[in-house]
Amino acid sequence: MAQVPERTKVEDADEDGVVESGDGAGEDVNNSDEVDKDGWLHLMEGTIKKRVLKAGSGQNPEMNQDVVCSFRIRPAAAAEDAFLQVHERVRYRIGEGEAVPCLELCLRHMVEGEESEVWSISRMAWGPEGWLAGGSASETAVPADADVVVNVVLHQCLPSATSWNERIQELNWRKENGNFYFRRKQFMKAGRSYAAGLDVFKGGFEAPEDMPDAGAASSAAAILSGDVGANLSAVHLALGNATAARDAATAALSVNTNNVKALYRGAKACFLLDEFDECEVALQRALALEPEDASLLRLDADFKRKKVKYANKSKRLAEKAVKACEYEDREVHVGDKEPNGQQQSMLQELEAAFGDKELNGQQRSMLQDFGHWVRSRCRYFAAATVIINLLLVLLAVLPRKHWPHCCIVAVLGLPTISAMLSRRKDGPDVEKKRA
């Protein structure tokens, strides 16, 4: 199943700023069957009112049934012909919460062929976010916090999609609705529409054997599904989820390897994730198919600049690591019985700290042993410090996918280097003992 942004109770208010099916639009709520003198049927305690303009005679939609409707939107205080947006033959599934509550509740109280108008307070319509225009130039955005009147025509109640052609129609509908929401920057709804479209065939695109040119039909269904997957990748990019965008693009390419949109969006996701090899491969494949595409050329230029910058940073990091490892290797002989000049100076300072009281032989021996112990292990401390600092720098510079490898190298490298230093230090003493 395609990955899609999860919808919680809070997110049911999502882009429209209203509560969807959880606030009654998905239930058969009719607090009052009374019709006032103007013909308005009061629903949801008067927050929604509906009246019939033209009676119908067909079927009444049921929960989880698809309907085809047209609707026009105007502010409640505007003239009757001052419509902001007009949408023809839009398909919704009752109970999914895709339509705003006032529209869905109106549809549930209509029959095929009926024309009605519904008045709604802002909260049950498009709420504090309003609704952006995204179609023709004549469209106007629905203002925020606007009470509205919506003229609705219910054209048809559709049966469940069972045949091949009906599933193709459903896939096309999900894609069109997703595009509709994407243009209006309603990315959560767009993602849900695209993901529902990918679930129509669930990866099995074989057309019935008795269908004319079944092979071409299967190929067309796979291409259409690939387009929907590429659009889902665009939704994840818009939401800032590069990992999900990469996965959606990869799934789209699994059914259509020549989908340029999926290649481009997969490359863009890998670019954001610093996955340079995957990004380069996707870009090369996409440019081979569309060598003059402006978006691809722009992303390719950005990728090359980022790759050079990353290479320069890696080079500087390597130089710093080499310099950090270039420290003076001073040999320390633990078996020396006579203190050297530095040890003698340390003893004199300690005697001065004790005042006139001189250190006895046992105390001198203990201090000398402690000094030998510290000096004999200073190289291990230095090696540990270098490795830890190098690990921190690598974690700050490298992409996240390389972090586990860096930690493994650091964990294994510290005892290995310590063992090498110990072998190097103990080597001459061991040889002397053997001699």
DSSP per residue over 319-363, as a string?
Answer: HHHHHHH--------TT--S--HHHHHHHHHHHHHTTTPPP-HHH
CB 174 within 8 A of CB 200: yes
CB 104 within 8 A of CB 25: yes
Mean pLDDT, rounded, for 195-220: 87
Q: Is the pLDDT of residue 73 over 80?
A: yes
**Cα–Cα distances in Å, from 18 out to 37, 94, 140, 352, 378?**
29, 17, 20, 81, 66
Q: Is the pLDDT of residue 411 over 60?
A: yes
Give the pLDDT confidence score for residue 26 in this predicted structure: 45
Task: Count other Cβ atoms within 10 Å, centred on residue 309.
Answer: 10
Using one digit for the tens of pLDDT, what is the confidence trace for 81-94?
899 999 999 999 99
**Cα–Cα distances in Å, from 286 out to 173, 213, 219, 220, 321?**
27, 29, 20, 20, 38
Q: Is the pLDDT of residue 143 over 90?
A: yes
Torsion over CA: 53, 54, 59, 64 (sign): negative
Give the pLDDT confidence score for residue 260 in this predicted structure: 95
Using one digit for the tens of pLDDT, what is the confidence trace for 271-313?
999 899 999 999 999 999 999 999 999 999 999 999 888 878 7
More confident residue, 262 or 413: 262
Q: Is the pLDDT of residue 240 over 70?
A: yes
Percent of the chain with pLDDT over 70: 69
Using one digit for the tens of pLDDT, what is the confidence trace for 17-35?
333 444 444 444 444 557 8
Find the helix or strand (DSSP H, E) in which 412 lies: helix 403-434
CA distance 381 to 76: 77
More confident residue, 363 or 335: 363
Helix (H, G, I), strand (E, B) or coil at 261: helix
* Mean of the per-residue pLDDT values of the chain: 80
Using one digit for the tens of pLDDT, what is the confidence trace for 247-266?
999 999 999 999 999 999 99
Using one digit for the tens of pLDDT, what is the confidence trace for 340-374?
555 566 556 555 554 444 545 555 566 556 566 55
Mean pLDDT, rounded, for 116-127: 95
Structure-block tokens of residue 38: 């103007």
> Residue 146 carries which DSSP code?
-
Provide the strand spans (E) within 17-129: 41-43, 48-54, 66-75, 85-93, 115-120
Find the helix or strand (DSSP H, E) in which 314 lies: helix 294-325
Structure-block tokens of residue 301: 């230029």
Mean pLDDT, rounded, for 229-245: 96
